[in-house]
Amino acid sequence: MNYTCPDKYFDAVVLNMWTIGNFDDKESVVRNLFRMWKKLYFGFWIPEVKDIPLRLQMYNEEKNFRDVNFEIDWTTIKEKNSWLESNCTKIEEIQNIVHNIWAKVKLYPVFKSFVVAEVF
């Protein structure tokens, strides 16, 4: 199935919670997405070792849909048999990225070390 993007701008885009954390150049991702939307929302985990069990529990519940084994590297949870991983991002890194693209950010703590960023 092919998906196309209409030739117009949208008010907002909401990303999967892993989306930003899994890119090496997060600033380029945010910059390019922000060019197309007036607001950008994304969730991210801040590096908190104490919250690894909660995140692992969440991924293990998803595991029921597929055969997955996990390994932990400090605050990164990786699937052993694939390239998928859940990385963490420092709040200061998000603030610097947003500053560099001449935007503003509002951070919303959701629970434990999970935060949603609103870039506008």
Residues 6 or more apart in contact with residue 71 via CB below 8 angstroms:
77, 78, 80
* Span 42-100, pLDDT tens digits: 888 899 999 999 888 888 787 666 667 888 999 988 888 877 788 889 999 999 999 99
How would residue 19 be classed by pLDDT, with cut points 50, 70 and 90? low
Number of independent structural domains in the chain: 1
Looking up residue 94, the CATH number of its domain turns out to be 3.40.50.150
Percent of the chain with pLDDT over 90: 32
Closest CA to 40 of 54, 19, 61, 66: 19
Domain that holds residue 36: 10-119
Task: Kindly report the pTM of this predicted structure.
Answer: 0.75
Would residue 50 count as lying in a domain? Answer: yes
* CA separation, residue 47 to residues 21, 36, 91, 98, 112 (Å): 11, 29, 9, 19, 11
